[in-house]
Amino acid sequence: MVGDRSGTTRWSWQSAYVRRLFWTDNIIVVLAVVLAHVVRFGQSDLLTTKSFSEVNYAVVSLCFTAAWIGTLVLFRSRSRRVIGSGYEEYQRVIAGTLRLFGAIAIISLVFKLDLARGYLAIALPVGLMALLFSRWTWRRVVARKRSRGEFQTSVLVVGGERAVRHMTKTFQREATDGYRVVGVCVPRYAGARGEHIEVDGTRIAIYGDEHSVVAALTESGADTVVVTATETLGHEGIRNLVWELEPYEADLVVATGVVDVAGPRMEMRPVAGLPLIHVEKPSYHGAKRSGKRAFDLIFSLIALLVLAPVFAAVAIAIKLDSRGPVFYGSERIGLDGKPFGMIKFRSMSIDADTQVTALMGQNEGAGPLFKMRDDPRVTRVGRFIRRYSIDELPQFINVVRREMSVVGPRPPLRREVENYDGMIRRRLLVRPGVTGLWQVSGRSDLSWDESVRLDLSYVENWSMVSDLLIIAKTVKAVVASDGAY
């Protein structure tokens, strides 16, 4: 049986993890329903309550609890394929819970059941938030384990050197996913045994050709086989490999070659006996976009209302610290390449733009971006508000004016857009965001290529669930001031 560096097999730690999720999920659901019952009807009537058209809420609570627990199972929220993966795991919990409450609403309407709305209004948010917090907490435990080399998924790649390098670098970049390449079988390989491929200091052994997979699986300690050389192996080769791996506790994954496209846009459909993957077009219009716009407007108006005292305090501090206006308008390029004035709190001296040429030799920014860790143009107040991204809060005004979105690609400068090629111009298909994947993945520390990759990934796969997750991660990144200067 293969295992990670700690000696714990993938199957054993996953089984233990699923059991912990099972118990915590069930406890949370029970407590949420009991809390809703007690708050709405009182502790003394927990087992005997009858009201609201003779509805027995003790029975309702029992059925509700069982249905909620069953829904989490039905939506495979604890599947080994998604545990610890973040977005997909959260999405299944959210989708299952909302579908259950939607079904309850429909049943109540059809059968004219006068269920207490306050009862459901307590159970839904409390239970859902607790479930998501529980999953987040367990993911942090797994992330810490993986940072120590535990809870790993060891990958044997069947493909060429280029594929191995790409996968190794991708897995290293997303270390919290727990994948590491431990070996490779190169199709039609005729080299000497003991050779290896080196990727950023990591030596990856070559175990032979496409016919050496089973032997390499045992020797390398891998528990997952990733096939990238689908054309070389062909239909029969992949089928035979599936049969050969059946006696082993190893997963077989076939890489599609479709990059930066998330699962919801990909669907497997059998055509003429062949399993073909259909990639749906990204959605930039219609109801989905209207829903995003409504969310942007409501979120921004609430944010501006709540942050009004902060705005006043920052404005006073800026005025007392240096002469000049409170706000700074910077031209950015928005949806479909249209320019707009992005609003920020002024964090630099009023002649900052005229000093760029003189400081260009000290530029630490990525690509066409100008960045300096110790920029002499930044004021004392500016250094503080930039560290915690307070200078960006006025951009919610841009959101209300329909020039930006709460979540989206990084707002580009005109000189950046003038150098865009056909691929990068796809960033302009959606409104730029106050925050985005770039904000929660390193901010100023990102390379230009990495920043572009994250923006394009967002454009291709955006959804309301992913937007909510990015907003939650943004709060954490801002508080920790990760990559900000």
At 287 the pLDDT is: 65
At 267 the pLDDT is: 66
Nearest to 134 by CA among 16, 36, 4, 27: 27
Nearest to 146 by CA among 86, 226, 220, 73: 86
Cite the residue boundaries of each domain of the chain with CATH code 3.40.50.720. Answer: 153-255
At 67 the pLDDT is: 92
Residue type, 120: L
**447 phi/psi in degrees, rounded to 5:** -75, 165
- 3-class SS letters over 183-211: EEECCCCCCCCCCEEEECCEEEEECCCHH
Nearest to 455 by CA among 419, 424, 476, 414: 424
Q: How confident is the model at residue 439 (pLDDT cuts 50, 70, 90)?
A: confident
Burial label for 357, CB within 10 Å (0-12, 13-18, 19+), is exposed
Render pLDDT for 264-278 as a digit per residue (tens, 0 to 9): 666 666 666 666 666
Q: How confident is the model at residue 30 (pLDDT cuts 50, 70, 90)?
A: very high
Residue type, 65: T
Residue that is written with structure tokens 């049986």 in the block: 1
Residue 429 has pLDDT above 80, yes or no: yes
- Is the torsion defined by CA of 138, 140, 144, 146 positive or negative? positive
Render pLDDT for 123-144 as a digit per residue (tens, 0 to 9): 889 999 999 999 989 988 888 8
At 178 the pLDDT is: 80
Residue 50 has pLDDT above 60, yes or no: no
Interatomic CA distance for residues 459 and 428, integer angstroms:
9
At 49 the pLDDT is: 46
Q: What is the mean pLDDT of residues 1-17?
A: 62
Burial label for 177, CB within 10 Å (0-12, 13-18, 19+), is middle
Residue type, 438: W
Mean pLDDT of the chain: 80
Render pLDDT for 323-368 as a digit per residue (tens, 0 to 9): 889 999 889 999 888 999 999 999 888 766 666 666 666 665 555 5
Render pLDDT for 365-393 as a digit per residue (tens, 0 to 9): 555 566 666 777 888 898 899 888 899 99
Per the model's pLDDT, the better-predicted residue between 172 and 225 turns out to be 225
At 237 the pLDDT is: 83
Interatomic CA distance for residues 267 and 278, integer angstroms:
5
At 188 the pLDDT is: 82
Taking the domain 153-255, which CATH number applies? 3.40.50.720
Contact 89, 135 (CB under 8 A): yes
Instruction: Read off the tokens for 244.
Output: 């050969």
At 398 the pLDDT is: 96
Interatomic CA distance for residues 272 and 374, integer angstroms:
62
Nearest to 444 by CA among 397, 414, 477: 477
Over pLDDT 70: what percentage of the chain?
79
Backbone dihedral region for residue 86 (phi beyond 0: left; psi -120 to 50: alpha; all else: beta): left
Min mean pLDDT across 17-21, 72-76, 94-98, 458-462 is at 458-462
Burial label for 4, CB within 10 Å (0-12, 13-18, 19+), is buried
Interatomic CA distance for residues 380 and 84, integer angstroms:
41
Please, which residues bridge with residue 331 across strands?
341
- Is the torsion defined by CA of 102, 107, 112, 114 positive or negative? negative
Interatomic CA distance for residues 172 and 259, integer angstroms:
17
Beta strands in 193-326 (DSSP E): 196-199, 202-206, 224-227, 251-254, 266-271, 274-279
